[in-house]
Amino acid sequence: MRLEFTSRAGAVQTGSLTLRNEAQDPVRVRTELLDFHLDATATPQFETSFQQEAAYSCRNWLSINPMETEIGPRQSVQVRYTLRVPTEAASRSFHCAVGFNSLPTATQARESGIRAAVRMVAAFYVVVGEPAIEGEVSDVKFEPATGSPDKHWQAVVTIRNWGHRYFRPNGGVELLDSVGTVVGKTEFPALPVLPNRSQRFLIPMEVKPVEGKYALRTRVTIGTPEIQEAVVPVVITPAP
């Protein structure tokens, strides 16, 4: 789940989230405030604090009520949040998250047995002021997917964000054979490129190309008017 806001320095944003227990037993839920980033495989990583995210974190702006609650079977509760943007906040985007961790109730804690623990996360993205979107496609590759049992291939697209505002690339990649026929294509995942970094996207292609010459083409928009296009040659050689 994600919540995205456009705000200003000194503003206060309030709202609520609904937590629902679909199980037949009650569950206790404890809340924690988190930082996050995307790793080299574009997988979100959540922790109590990431020092490298300090300049873009909104974790200390958030307050949650209640921080801990019990939800009955097939019931739901409202959790309210308040996000207070500091008056000295810079014009840029900020991100943070709220984690909801399941715990045994007091009665369940006295019982023997194994219970699954679950963490649910809501990500917050806050754009303060009007920072510009600045970025580009910096690298495109085509390679075998690591660990793929069916020996599928993947496009690896690196997008650089040198600005102070996150964006979500929109577009796709296509594999063309030597005469320009599209033999495989897929869309970009709906993931962000956070500010001031390069992000690799591993994009599975449902195709097993035979030996020969190809071209890998990517067309991407990042929130600016232009469409960015990159084409790289690909040569598939026999396996040794």
Q: What angle do CA 27, 29, 35 make, to 5 degrees?
A: 150
Contact 120, 100 (CB under 8 A): yes
- pLDDT score, position 147: 66
pLDDT band (50, 70, 90) for residue 207? confident
List the domain boundaries for the chain: 2-128, 135-236
Tell which residue, 109, 16, 121, 117, has the closest CA to residue 63: 16
Write the DSSP assignment of 117-135 as a string of letters. Answer: --EEEEEEEEEES-PPP-E
Q: What is the CA radius of gyration of the chain?
A: 22
Cα 126 to chain centroid, rounded: 14
Contact 101, 191 (CB under 8 A): no
Omega of the bond leading into 66 within 30 degrees of 0 (cis): yes
Instruction: Summarize pLDDT for 92-117 with one digit per residue, the tens.
Output: 999 999 999 988 877 776 677 677 77
Q: Whole-angstrom Cα distance, residue 14 to residue 135?
A: 31
Which of these CATH numbers, 2.40.160.210, 3.10.450.50, 1.10.287.3510, 2.60.40.10, describes 2-128? Answer: 2.60.40.10
Instruction: Summarize pLDDT for 127-177 with one digit per residue, the tens.
Output: 999 999 999 999 999 988 876 556 688 999 999 999 999 999 999 999 999
Q: Whole-angstrom Cα distance, residue 174 to residue 200?
A: 17
Cβ-Cβ contacts under 8 Å for 230 (sequence gap 6 or more) = 137, 140, 217, 218
Question: Looking at the domain that runs over 135-236, which CATH code has it been given?
Answer: 2.60.40.10
Instruction: Summarize pLDDT for 24-58 with one digit per residue, the tens.
Output: 889 999 999 999 999 998 999 999 999 999 999 99
- pLDDT score, position 105: 79
Do the domains spanning 2-128 and 135-236 agree at the CATH topology level?
Answer: yes
